[in-house]
Amino acid sequence: MATIAVPIGTQAEQREAEAVRRPALSEYLRWSVDHKIIGVQYGISSFLFFLVGGAMAMGIRLELLTPGLDLMVSGSAYNSLFTMHGTVMIFLFIIPMWAAFGNFVVPLQLGAKDMAFPWLNAFAFWLIPPAAIIILMGYFVTPAEAGWTAYPPLSTLFSGDGQTLWALGAHLLGISSIMGSINFIVTILNMRPEGMTLWRMPLLCWAVLATSIIAVMATPFLAGALTLLLLDRVAGTTFFDAAGGGDVLLWQNIFWFYSHPAVYIMVLPGMGVLSEVLSIHSRKPVFGYRMVGLSSMGIAFVGFTVWAHHMFTSLQPELRIPFMITTMIIAVPTGIKMFSWLGTIWGGKIRFTSAMLFALGFLSMFVIGGITGVMLAALPFDIHVHDTYFVVSHFHFVLFGGSVFAIYAALYHWFPKVTGRMMNERLGRIHFVFTYFGFLFTFFPMHIVGMLGMPRRVAVYDPAFTQWNQLIGIAAFVLGFSTFIVVYNVIHSYFRGPVAGANPWRALTLEWATTSPPPVTNFIDDPIPYEDPYGYGTEAATAYLDAVDETFRNGAPASSR
């Protein structure tokens, strides 16, 4: 039977120690070493960049409503628009947003009072605003227009000073990512409480650990490539200039050696979120817990062996088959997760909360992205659809259908813990419907136009694709509108949402064993984790949750065993 370890001290002392206040908004605008403040700083800034990147996406779809140039004054203006859209969404939204949830939730799940290196944690965040300013300053000179991949010679010979600023800003973002990842690794491996072995650790922590290992190992390669690019641009070197003895394909190899593992930097935390949300909201233990944890590490390992599938059309023929095989192999650990999640919800008492709906949306969309990924792993098909909208569709089904749907699931799930308030579930369901169908009808038709031959990265296209692009454009505007729903829901719920209580979802992981929002030190005493973080459906778990609820009603948040 679960027991509750009540903190030592009088009830009055406990209530005073645990008096919870939400931080003033001004606290999020200055330096702080509190991991919870830093997590919210990451989250708010990342979401603002999401709005910027989304506005750029709306500009792209406006331009593509007709075959000719309308909104853009030139092809270069369109090039800079989709370059900045990709850069903002990947480097300034998705990756930092996962750092937001990791910072806020992981120390709480581990029962820690903070991250291992609080000062380094704050420094990693405060590198992001100047990096973003440097990148966006390109619009005041000549903006980068070589795409978010920055392939030479486009990024060395045919792009203006904004490309130099782009590379400098990306450098700072890489330093930030490395610092944050080192912090996560040390925190997860060294700051678990007594009783929490690796095999009792929440699966979000497993996912963040695998993500951080990828970032620490891969990001220095991007830093090296950016250094060479900057030297080519400002110092006259010719690392990527064939005329000067360099090799254009050198950039592609180094860039994709980072950037394909970086896809899993953007997706693996979302997979960790899925394991939390699906288990809690279906009241079922995670099916195959150990295999789910190990599959995260498997993805991290195999992810370093597939980078050259981005280069099938430029790769030496004898190297194509090995990379085709490794690309197909990486579907195995991902498939393990998919079947585990299906086994988790099978026969469960599913509550269709907003978090659960977005988690299920992730499942359906990511499966489509995975299937098209296997299609692109097949060498003949990949060459046929290379640089077409089929690739754009696949990419967005993985990153929006995967990462963004999981981000929304995490937002609805942990918003009560962050703010002490519940989000409006009715608005959440409306948000899900607009997002789901807006996204589906935006990106699924791109498979068709891609196979029909419409190239990506062009503003002027064959008029035969006009109706397809108009359908895609209308759906994209619906998807864009959905964002205003969640913005309103967040703001309204922060000020007027129902009080959440400590554990509104009746979950077993440690972040729910303290108040909402948590106090500065997270817990009054050293928390003791429950024996199984996903042990729902047992009498012991029910007794434990009832005891926790009773303890909070009596005014004394508790540690758990």
Report the CATH number at residue 185. 1.20.210.10
Query: Which residues span the domain enclosing 385?
Result: 32-555
The answer to whether residue 546 sits within a structural domain is yes
pLDDT recorded at residue 525: 75
In a domain, 274, yes or no: yes
The reply to whether 264 falls in a domain is: yes
- Would you say residue 172 lies in a domain? yes
Q: How far apart, in whole angstroms, are the C-alpha atoms of residue 225 and residue 167?
A: 10
pLDDT at 182: 96
User: How many domains does the structure of the chain reveal?
Assistant: 1
Would you state the pLDDT for residue 4? Answer: 42
542 Cβ neighbours under 8 A, 6+ residues apart: none
With b for 16 or more beta-carbon neighbours within 10 A and e for fewer, the 523-532 pattern comes to: bbeebbbbbe
Q: What is the pLDDT of residue 531?
A: 84
Nearest C-alpha neighbor of 352 from the set 282, 410, 403? 282
Distances in Å between the Cα of 84 and the Cα atoms of 93, 120, 152, 162, 209 are: 12, 28, 17, 11, 29
**Are 18 and 557 spatial neighbours (Cβ–Cβ below 8 Å)?**
yes
Q: Is the separation of the CB atoms in 110 and 46 below 8 Å?
A: no
What distance in Å separates the CA atoms of residue 267 and residue 337, rounded to the nearest whole number?
Answer: 12
25 lies in a domain? no
- Side chain identity at residue 375, one-letter code: M
CA angle 124, 416, 495 (to 5 degrees): 95
Residues 60 and 79: their CA atoms lie apart, in Å, by 10
Cis bond upstream, residue 416 (ω within 30):
no
Per-residue model confidence (pLDDT) at position 24: 75
Residues of the chain with pLDDT under 50: 1-19, 556-561
Residue 5 in domain: no
Question: What's the Cα-to-Cα distance from 207 to each of 33, 184, 299, 350, 433, rounded to whole Å?
Answer: 24, 11, 10, 24, 28
pLDDT in tens, 334-363: 999 999 999 999 999 999 999 999 999 999
Are 254 and 224 in contact, with CB atoms under 8 Å apart? yes
What's the mean per-residue pLDDT of the chain? Answer: 90
Rounded Cα distance between 184 and 182, Å, is 5
21 domain residue, yes or no: no
Q: What are phi and psi of 5, to 5 degrees?
A: -95, 105
The pLDDT value recorded for residue 10 is: 34
What's the pTM? 0.93
Residue 173 lies in a domain: yes
